[in-house]
Each structure stands twice: as C-alpha cells, then as structure tokens.
Chains A and B, each alone.
Chain A
Amino acid sequence: MTLPGGFELVVAWRFLREGRMQSLLIVVGVAAGVAVVAYISALVGGLQQNTLDKTLGAQAHVVLSEREDAVLPSAAAASAVAGTTALVQAMPRAQRLRSVANWPALVPLLEALPEVAAVSPMVAGSGLVLRGQAQRAVTLAGVELARYDRIVGLSGRVVAGQARLGPGEAIVGRELAADLGLGVGDRLTLAAGSGADAAQDTARITALVDFGVRELNRRSVVVPLREAQSLLGLPGGATRIDIALHDVWAAPALSARLARGWPYLVESWQDNNASLVSALNAQSLSTAVIRAVVLVVVVLGIASVLVVSVVQKQREIGILRAMGATQGQVMRVFLLQGALVGVAGSLLGVVLAAGLVKAFTVFARGGDGLPLFTITLPPGLALQVAVVATLCGLLAAVAPARRAARLDPAQAMRL
C-alpha cells in the first residue's frame, strides 16, 4: 500500500498491474488512437493553415467597394395602364471605375472596429506596362505602402530590392519583371485609360515581390495612391478599401454586418473563394468523422477489455464486497481503471503524435528540399485530445463498472 490515494485507486492500479499484458495492449491501443487523432488534426490543421496563408497572404479578408451601377426601369414603364401588362427589359450597364463615396471618413470608422487589424484604401484598375516594344496588361494598384503592407505583408514578400513607394516609384511582381526584362532601379512606363482619358507616367522599380500566386506576380504593379489616382482618372478617389482581420473566420459576419449598415458592396474572402472554403469544410468534416470513429474504437476497446476483466475478477469482486466494499467503491475501482488506461494511453499517444509530426517535417519534403508545409502539435490540441481520450476511458468503463457493482457477492464467490 505504498500508493497514495484511497482504496479504489490502489485496487484499480493493482488490478491493471496484475493483468499486465492485457493492460499494456489496451494502453497501446488507446495510444495509437490518440496518436492518429492528434496527428491527423495537426496535419489537417497545418495543411489548412498553409492553404489559407497562401490564399489570404495576397488578399484582404474583407473588401469594401461601391455597389455596381444598376439600371432602374423607368417610371413610365413601371406604371403601365390598368388592364395591360408591361414587359420591361433593362440592359445591364457597363461598369465603370468608381470611387468609394466618402472613403476617407470610412477608414477611421473601420479601424475602430475591434475585429479589424488593418485598413488600406486602394485605387485599382487595369493598365499597361510599356518597355520598348514590349507591353503587358497589368493591374495597377495605388496604395499607401505602410497600410497595404499590413494587409498583404508586402515587405516580407520582397525578393529583390527594398519595399519603398515614394513618388515616381513602383513595386512589381517577379514574373512581370522577368517577362519585361526589368530589374530593381529600372524605369518603366505605365499607361491607363483611352482616348481623352488616356494617361501615362513613368516609375522607377524599387522592389520585386512574390505574392505567392503566379498570376498575381505576372499582373501586379503597385504604385503610390496618388499616382494611381491620376493615371486611372480618379483624383482623390479609392476604388476599394481592403480590411484585414485578427480572425479570418470572422470575415463573413463582419461583411454581412457592414453590408447591412452601409450602402456599399462588402465581400469577405469566403465570398471570393467559395470553392476553397467548401474544400476546407469538407476536409474538416472528414477529419471530424475520422476522429469520431477512432474515439468510438478506443471506447469499445477499453470497454471490451474491462468487461473481460470484470468477468475474470468476479470472485475478487465478491470477496471485496463480502469484506465490506460498497457497490460505489467497486464501481469506482473499475471507472478508475478506465480513466487510468485513458490517461496512460493519452500520454503515450501524444508522445507518438509528436514523433509523427517531427517525422513529417523531416521526411516529407518537396522537390526543392524544403518541408511541404509546417505542421506542429500545439499543446492545446495535445491537451484537448488527451482529455477527450481520458473521458472516453471513463465513459468506456461505465457499463463494466456498473456490472461489477451489481454482482451479487454470494454468487460471485461461488463462481
């Protein structure tokens, strides 16, 4: 009786120790289950985070812009003569570049929202980059660099030069620079508009960046807000306001709230990446199914071993009862066995999962020799899985424990 703890813990521990092989097997079984659940959760979590980082790295979480121009049916057409039916067909309008009305006042309002991490006004429109005989169609983005940087982390994406955006300076995508044979310090000509609105300007390249998406690298030119305003013919305007959030999953709620309250078009990243979101959801759902199935298997495994143990130990249960053990004490002995198996299996399982995570980062590498993506086993996740597995152990023990407690002592000893 060297163990701390009362009668139940001492007897539970000794019973488990007595059936050493049986206990070891079930602990290893629980550990395997815990390792699978923890590893899959870490892997899918890492994969999703990686996908999100790649997707969201180059875009805002919420974008606010002016609502599209719509054609309203004329009043005459709408009020048709009584007894007649009016067939009205409205042609959709060609959308022009428009500034978000009153945007300078919106920026501080948005910044004051608790879920908002950063706000950046932008003028975006299509343009051309000219260099000698070559020309490329591009997206001109006029930004205030300090603000924009907080949305897409531009300075962290610089592959050459230095992220700087003074007057007459531009940052271009890596592939675009390669296409046009441009380097840091080179000048390029930017053109936008047509006819009377045509405008042209030159800029010196301060940095080449990698947005993480090839198409963006091939089409992006970032210039100071003012220059884009004048090139695109929107003096003092901003075509959109980019918003970054602390929690990316809060985007739909916030955009819905803003769209309800304000007369603007507000879109979340989920609106613009519906297929990605449904893929992530499907992935999360299948992970949840796998976790649930594994946990059910764990519960059944522990329960079956404990049921066998109750049968094996009927005589001992009978003698304990005859010696004065209450039904509650016998029940707790078996519940504790389930919990102990759960705890031991969880600890071993978390160690195994950490090993698997480590093995993944060491062995699963892409063609460039770098890890495919980083996965970690956050302590919170490990703790959560361990607690759930321990509860499963306890749950699995309920039926066998009740059975043990209900054994008739006289009958149990006769067996």
Chain B
Amino acid sequence: MNASTEPRPLARLEDVTQHFNVGRPNEQQVLHGVSLELHRHDFAALVGPSGSGKSTLLNVLGLLERPSGGTYELLGEATQALDDAARTRLRGRALGFVFQFHHLLPAFSALENVLLPVLMRDGRIAPSWRARARELLASLGLAAAEGKRPGELSGGMQQRVAIARALVLDPPLVLADEPTGNLDTASSDEVFALLRRLHAERGIAFVVVTHDPRLAARCDRLIELVDGRVRRDGPTGD
C-alpha cells in the first residue's frame, strides 16, 4: 500500500509499548513497540497465542488502557495527552465494542440495551433514535426480540444485540474481542457473516480478535502478535 495515496488512517499506533506492574518484582512488558494503521476498509483479524498481548492491544486501541510508551492517534487526534473525560468522549464517537461475553445489561431489554449509548450521550432518547435502533435490530434479525431481556435470548441473539449496540452511534471502527468465542459453530458463523455484511454495507472497519483460524482466514487482513510484537501484518491470503 502506498502511504501517500492512502487517506488518513482511522487509527495509528507507533512504537506502542505497555508495561504492567512497573517497578515491582513482577514487572512485565506486554507490548514491545507495536506500530500499525487501521483504515476504513479494514476487516482485520488480530491473532496470536494466549498471552501474546492481543487483549492489551485491543484495550489500548479502545482507549480503555493508556500505553506506557509510543503514540496513538484515533481519528487524527493524539490520545496520550487527553484526560479521562476527553478519552471517554472520543471513545463514544469513534469506537464500538463487541465482547466475547456479550456484556448486555440484564436489567434492560434488547432495545434498551441498544439505546443505552444514545441515552448516555444525549441524556434522552429522541424518537428518531428509537426508530434507528429498531431498524438496526430488525436488520440483524432481532425484530421480535426487542422487548426481551438478555436472559430470554440465545447466545447468538445476545451477541447480535451487542453488535447492534456497538453500531447504534455509527462508529467508524468496531473492536470485537472473540465475538464468537462463546458460541456454537452455527451461531458463530452466523455472527461472523453479520460482521462481514455490516462491513460491506456500512463501511465500518472491524478489528476482530479471534483464536479460531477458520474465522481469521475469512478476514481481509491478518495481524499476528507474538510476545507483544507484530510478527505478521498483511492480507490474509499471504
């Protein structure tokens, strides 16, 4: 790829390091100078053995952790100097999250869970947002489930609700941590196909952490981490 013709990346990490337990006997360096760019057209798999730093990298990308060193720009904004409130705002604007365990709030219905980010941002739910959330749920095959609590839904359905919630504010980048890790093969395929469809239809970039080589092979780009270093970063087929 030619960097000069490439539009500005959504996210750019340069020489990012992450240390845990600094100054203690159990000090550990989890990321060693990670540099990578994420673009709108990316549908990337982030793979690597356990302990390779995938989750840490995802947390750094998600502004859930501050890296110990290096620079991280999200939507062109340098994030190191931002305070917690500014990081929270940027996170809400730029990112959607899908987790292995769906993390839906059990006290809210499917529709309410999808609307929570809107309520959080605006302090109220305008009717247009309600309509949009309904439409989103319907497009994910959940029209009949909108009034149900997470406990009343199957694992696959819960994960689809979580995806709808990640998408409701139309973030340009969605970070998915083992989004199918907790599902059987059929549901897993279904959810993955859905992510691909959303990428194609809405132009949302995805970074999917996965242990499943089958799913990784279906992504466009493969980023492999080993011992906190990027060992490989390129098109999946290479």
Interface residues of A, Cβ cutoff 8 Å to B: 1, 6-7, 10-11, 14-15, 17-18, 315-316, 318-329, 408-410, 413-414
Number of residue pairs across A and B with beta carbons under 8 Å?
72
Interface of A is mostly: helix
Interface 0/1 of B51-86, CB less than 8 Å to A: 000010001001011000000000000000000110
* A6-B124, A409-B64 as given contacts; A18 in contact with B106, CB under 8 Å: yes
Instruction: Give which listed residue, A7, A14, A408, contacts B123 with CB less than 8 A.
Output: A7
Are B120 and A7 within 8 A (Cβ)? Answer: yes
Are A324 and B88 within 8 A (Cβ)? Answer: yes
* A1-B125, A6-B123, A410-B64 as given contacts; A326 in contact with B85, CB under 8 Å: yes
Assembly CA distance A322 to B99 (angstroms): 11
Assembly CA distance A18 to B109 (angstroms): 12
Are B85 and A322 within 8 A (Cβ)? Answer: no
Are A1 and B85 within 8 A (Cβ)? Answer: no
* A1-B112, A410-B65 as given contacts; A321 in contact with B88, CB under 8 Å: yes
Residue B172 CB within 8 A of the other chain: no
Assembly CA distance A11 to B64 (angstroms): 22
Closest 3 CB pairs of A and B: A324-B92, A6-B123, A14-B107
Are B105 and A316 within 8 A (Cβ)? Answer: yes
> What is the chain B residue whose CB lies nearest that of A16?
B107
Instruction: Give which listed residue, B62, B88, B103, B165, contacts A325 with CB less than 8 A.
Output: B88
Residue B116 CB within 8 A of the other chain: yes
Q: Which residues of B contact A6 (CB under 8 A)?
A: 119, 123-124
Instruction: Give which listed residue, A17, A18, A323, contacts B120 with CB less than 8 A.
Output: A323
Residue B97 CB within 8 A of the other chain: yes
Interface 0/1 of B5-34, CB less than 8 Å to A: 000000000000000000000000000000
Are A319 and B59 within 8 A (Cβ)? Answer: no
Residue B39 CB within 8 A of the other chain: no
Are B165 and A324 within 8 A (Cβ)? Answer: no
Residue B115 CB within 8 A of the other chain: yes
Interface residues of B, Cβ cutoff 8 Å to A: 55, 59, 62, 64-65, 84-85, 88-89, 91-92, 97, 99, 103, 105-108, 112, 115-117, 119-121, 123-125, 165, 169
Q: Which residues of B contact A10 (CB under 8 A)?
A: 119
Are B125 and A329 within 8 A (Cβ)? Answer: no
A312 to chain B, nearest CB (A): 11
> What is the chain B residue whose CB lies nearest that of A316?
B105
Are A1 and B105 within 8 A (Cβ)? Answer: no
Q: Supply 10 further A-B pairs (C-beta < 8 A) apart from A324-B121, A409-B64.
A: A7-B123, A18-B106, A319-B105, A320-B120, A322-B97, A323-B117, A324-B88, A327-B88, A328-B85, A410-B62
Assembly CA distance A95 to B110 (angstroms): 92
A317 to chain B, nearest CB (A): 10
Instruction: Give which listed residue, B64, B103, B108, B125, contacts A315 with CB less than 8 A.
Output: B103
Are B89 and A14 within 8 A (Cβ)? Answer: no
Instruction: Give which listed residue, B84, B89, B119, contacts A7 with CB less than 8 A.
Output: B119
Assembly CA distance A321 to B62 (angstroms): 11
Assembly CA distance A89 to B112 (angstroms): 95
Are A322 and B62 within 8 A (Cβ)? Answer: yes
Assembly CA distance A167 to B91 (angstroms): 95
Are A17 and B112 within 8 A (Cβ)? Answer: no
> What is the chain A residue whose CB lies nearest that of B94?
A324
Are A323 and B64 within 8 A (Cβ)? Answer: no
Q: Which residues of B contact A410 (CB under 8 A)?
A: 59, 62, 64-65
| B55, B65, B103, B165: most-surrounded residue (chain A CB, <10 A) | B103
Are B107 and A15 within 8 A (Cβ)? Answer: yes
Are A413 and B124 within 8 A (Cβ)? Answer: no
> What is the chain A residue whose CB lies nearest that of B62?
A322
* A1-B112, A319-B105, A410-B65 as given contacts; A327 in contact with B85, CB under 8 Å: yes
Assembly CA distance A410 to B30 (angstroms): 15
Q: Which residues of B contact A7 (CB under 8 A)?
A: 116, 119-120, 123
Assembly CA distance A6 to B64 (angstroms): 24
A201 to chain B, nearest CB (A): 86
Are B85 and A323 within 8 A (Cβ)? Answer: no
A59 to chain B, nearest CB (A): 63
Q: Which residues of A contact B64 (CB under 8 A)?
A: 321-322, 408-410
A109 to chain B, nearest CB (A): 64
Are B120 and A325 within 8 A (Cβ)? Answer: yes
* A1-B125, A6-B123, A315-B103 as given contacts; A322 in contact with B108, CB under 8 Å: no
Are A413 and B103 within 8 A (Cβ)? Answer: yes
Assembly CA distance A30 to B62 (angstroms): 41
Q: Which residues of B contact A324 (CB under 8 A)?
A: 88-89, 91-92, 117, 120-121, 169
Q: Which residues of B contact A316 (CB under 8 A)?
A: 103, 105
B5 to chain A, nearest CB (A): 33
Are B165 and A323 within 8 A (Cβ)? Answer: yes
Assembly CA distance A318 to B103 (angstroms): 9
Q: Which residues of B contact A409 (CB under 8 A)?
A: 64
Assembly CA distance A73 to B121 (angstroms): 89
Are A323 and B116 within 8 A (Cβ)? Answer: yes
Are B112 and A323 within 8 A (Cβ)? Answer: no
What are 25 A-B pairs at a CB distance below 8 A?
A1-B115, A6-B119, A7-B116, A7-B123, A14-B108, A18-B106, A315-B103, A316-B103, A319-B99, A320-B105, A320-B116, A321-B64, A322-B62, A322-B91, A323-B120, A324-B120, A325-B88, A326-B85, A327-B84, A327-B85, A327-B88, A328-B85, A329-B120, A410-B59, A410-B65
Assembly CA distance A292 to B103 (angstroms): 42
A144 to chain B, nearest CB (A): 70
